[in-house]
Structure 1
Amino acid sequence: METEIPAMLAARQLILPERFTFHSARMRMKHVTKDELAAMDAQSDRCALELSDARVDVLGYACLVAIMSMGHGYHRESEKRLHAVTVANEAAAPVVTSAGALVDALGVMGARRIALVAPYMKPLTRMVIDYIEAEGVEVVTHKALEISNNLEVAAHDPANLPGIVQGLDTSGVDAVVLSACVQMPSLASVARVEAMTGKPVVTAAIATTYQMLKALELAPIVPGAGALLSGAY
């Protein structure tokens, strides 16, 4: 969230007139486990309140798996509750979750069958797959990288992702989710994987950027950020 989304907004500024400032409030988590994710999510109201003090125009909840680990459809409940926090603070702003953004992005792209890469341990990856499939999208093939330490997730080299995708059968999918986690960097490899597979590629960070721009009523266009932000949607 704090690296790739500002990078995409900065790239957009090179071709379009809008300018952005970026503000963050952090929920604590060290290891990507179900218990730590639940404790992390419990801090989201505080973060929404802090950010609304800055009178921001849109809020993005960054952790996809924290939302998905709370039960099917939880992104709708979270977005509604956190928006209410901003309203109560007299600073009403729309709230986008990366979980909801990814699900919605797949709908926008018309993707019903996908390949997915996630950094999570296998049980959490299965939870993410179940969440996405409960929203009507089939995860045909996937790869769980089994990285539990959150800082190691951030340090994963995006140059490894094309090789990982090559190990998946993407012939029957509509799209590739190159990173189901905003913490795992992937932006640098999106164009290469699109060229390699002939499929549109989306990530949690790209989907979140798309939904934030839509919430701001701005054209969802970012150069070099894959099919979803190409202007085709």
Structure 2
Amino acid sequence: MDVSFLGGPQPQLGVGVVAPFDFALDRELWRWVPDDVSLHLTRTPFVPVEVSLDLARLVSEHETLDAAVQALCAVSPQVISYACTSGSFVGGVAGERAMCAAMVQAGEVPALTTSGALIEAVREIGARRVAVVTPYTKSVTDSLEDYLGEAGITVTGRAYLGLTRHIWKVPYRDVVDMARAAVVGDTDALFISCTNLPTYDVIPQLEAELRMPVLSANQVTMWAALRAIGVEAVGPYQALLDPVARRGPAAMTGSDPVDAGPRVTPEAAFAGSPVPPEAEVADGLDPPPYPPEDTGGLPPV
């Protein structure tokens, strides 16, 4: 049968993505991508280390990045993104810039990282005071706070789970609980860290409840990568991506969020949300569970 009348396939722009070996959210990345863009993913080599500062350093070594970028360049992407938050903030601002330079040198293609995209996104929305949510241990969360501080961004509150593996299995409900614990005082925006933590569907709900922009690791990564090639990311009702959302509830930032019930203190953080049975809590702690959840009138996530 002659199918020449179909034409095509249509030209595709390409975004190369270097992800850590344990990255499990390929489908989430695709949700931000319009139809005329293809994602080309590759992973760093496996190392028998759980999520920690040591792992962040191992998966961001320049030799590892060089090999991954060269593999991706075989399919001619227009930009390459390193999709790992901790791996790109562990060396501070200078370390993040060095990673970008190493990737550009390896592939002769524009390159960016999740942590660099985060700083760009925070500036895009005009935020200076940010609450932080992470699935990490305390030491990794501390390193993120140091990175943001170095970039001139104040962390106003934080919540973390203390996980060292299986982060992609954390349910949205736990992300919401952490967000409510982290957002205290005068806060301009919330950042949900880790590219292996699911966030796409929960962002609009949190923006509506907290009355502020909500950024996530995968969101800022795809937003920055697509913007670098002149394409808009797909994210309805997400303030970073949707002008209507930015003028809506998310524009009412700061000190008067909608009442979501009693708040936990920021440093009670977190280390206490229910997690899947096989997930482990770092540092040998067995923290108490969160208080009974109040959804603040939102449907369950």
Query: What is the TM-score of this pair, normalised by structure 2?
Result: 0.68
Q: Which residue of 2 aligns with 1:94?
A: 110
The residue matched to 2:107 in structure 1 has which SS?
helix
* 2:207 matches 1:194: yes
The residue matched to 1:23 in structure 2 has which SS?
strand
The residue matched to 1:41 in structure 2 has which SS?
coil
Paired residue type of 1:63: C
Aligned partners of 2:185, 2:238: CA distance in 1, in Å? Answer: 19
Q: Which residue of 2 aligns with 1:228?
A: 240
Aligned partners of 1:110, 1:126: CA distance in 2, in Å? Answer: 23
Structure 1, residues 38-59: CA drift from partner, whole Å, max 9, x if none? Answer: 2211211110110011111111
Deviation at 1:168, TM superposition (A): 3.0
Structure 1, residues 62-96: CA drift from partner, whole Å, max 9, x if none? Answer: 11101211233321111111011112xxxxx2112
What is the aligned residue count? 217
Aligned partners of 2:237, 2:37: CA distance in 1, in Å? Answer: 17
Structure 1, residues 141-181: CA drift from partner, whole Å, max 9, x if none? Answer: 001111111xx11111123222222223444111111x211
Asked whether the 8 Å contact 1:63–1:98 carries over to 2, the reply is: yes
Deviation at 1:214, TM superposition (A): 1.3
Query: What is the TM-score of this pair, normalised by structure 1?
Result: 0.87
Asked whether the 8 Å contact 1:129–1:139 carries over to 2, the reply is: yes
Unaligned runs of 5+ in 1: 14-18, 88-92
Deviation at 1:3, TM superposition (A): 2.6
Matches within 5 A, 1:52-71: 52-71=73-92
Which structure's relative contact order is higher, taking Cα pairs within 8 Å and 6+ residues apart? Answer: 1
Residue of structure 1 aligned with 2:132, choices 98, 103, 116: 116
Aligned partners of 1:76, 1:196: CA distance in 2, in Å? Answer: 35
Aligned partners of 2:188, 2:215: CA distance in 1, in Å? Answer: 11
Aligned partners of 1:221, 1:47: CA distance in 2, in Å? Answer: 24
Asked whether the 8 Å contact 2:136–2:160 carries over to 1, the reply is: yes
Asked whether the 8 Å contact 1:114–1:175 carries over to 2, the reply is: yes
Q: Which residue of 1 aligns with 2:60?
A: 41
Q: Which residue of 2 aligns with 1:75?
A: 96
Q: 1:168 to 1:38 in 2, by over 3 A?
A: closer
Deviation at 1:104, TM superposition (A): 1.1
Paired residue type of 1:3: R
Aligned partners of 2:227, 2:233: CA distance in 1, in Å? Answer: 10
Asked whether the 8 Å contact 1:187–1:225 carries over to 2, the reply is: no
* 2:228 matches 1:211: no
Paired residue type of 2:32: M
Aligned partners of 2:92, 2:156: CA distance in 1, in Å? Answer: 21
Q: Which residue of 1 aligns with 2:37?
A: 20
Structure 1, residues 175-218: CA drift from partner, whole Å, max 9, x if none? Answer: 111x2111111111101100101101111111111111111012
Deviation at 1:221, TM superposition (A): 4.2
Aligned partners of 1:221, 1:35: CA distance in 2, in Å? Answer: 32
The residue matched to 2:117 in structure 1 has which SS?
helix
The residue matched to 1:111 in structure 2 has which SS?
coil
The residue matched to 2:88 in structure 1 has which SS?
helix
- Over alpha carbons, which structure has the higher Rg? 2
Deviates more, 1:21-30 or 1:186-195: 21-30
The residue matched to 1:116 in structure 2 has which SS?
strand
Q: RMSD of aligned C-alpha atoms? A: 1.7
Aligned partners of 1:221, 1:182: CA distance in 2, in Å? Answer: 16
Decide which structure has greater helix share: 1
Paired residue type of 1:79: C
